[in-house]
């Protein structure tokens, strides 16, 4: 059962990240365009992409927490690396939720942020993913 949960967790995580890597790229195009027709098309694409990947985010959490439940509380207490991973994952959930606000903001005001701001915003999930993968694979001991 644990291996199935792990496989499903990874599958949905990859699908989720594909979306949250591409969505801010659409935001860059949106912020840098001056064409109202382009803004309208990008607003549709952004909304559809965000709603498409949100179930993947939810399922990533479902199978991740299912694995935590199977491992048990004692294992969790002793796994300091997992505490850091969970903080990063919660931050990514906040990032994902913030994307809903950005989609609405860009629809109302295409120049809500600069293209440069969105380029930096796009790096957040990349850095989080690097840290999460390193923690999950190396399982460093803290203490």
Q: Which element (helix H / strand E) includes 6?
A: helix 2-32
Tell me the average pLDDT of the chain: 96
Tens of pLDDT, residues 59-85: 999 999 999 999 999 999 999 999 999
**Is 79 a domain residue?**
no
Q: What is the pLDDT of residue 112?
A: 87
Interacting residues of 5 by C-beta distance below 8 A, sequence separation 6+? 63, 66, 67, 70
Q: Is residue 108 part of a domain?
A: yes
Domain count across the chain: 1
130 within a domain of the structure (yes/no): no
Domain contains 87: no
Residue 142 or 18, more confident: 18
pLDDT digits (tens, 9 = 90+) for 110-132: 888 999 999 999 999 999 999 99
Burial letters 80-89, b for 16+ CB under 10 A, else e: ebbeebbebb
Domain that holds residue 62: 2-70+95-123
In a domain? residue 115 = yes
């Amino acid at each position: 059962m644990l291996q199935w949960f792990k496989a499903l967790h990874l599958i949905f995580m990859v699908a989720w990240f594909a979306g949250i890597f591409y969505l801010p790229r659409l935001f860059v195009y949106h912020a840098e365009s001056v064409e109202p027709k382009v803004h309208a098309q990008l607003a549709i694409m952004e909304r559809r992409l965000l709603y498409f990947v949100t179930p993947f985010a939810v399922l990533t959490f479902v199978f991740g927490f299912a694995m935590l439940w199977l491992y048990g509380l004692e294992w969790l207490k002793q796994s300091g690396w997992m505490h850091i991973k969970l903080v990063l994952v919660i931050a990514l959930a906040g990032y994902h939720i913030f994307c809903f606000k950005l989609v609405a903001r860009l629809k109302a005001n295409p120049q809500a942020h600069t293209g440069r701001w969105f380029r930096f915003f796009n790096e957040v999930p990349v850095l989080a993913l690097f840290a999460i993968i390193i923690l999950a694979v190396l399982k460093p001991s803290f203490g």
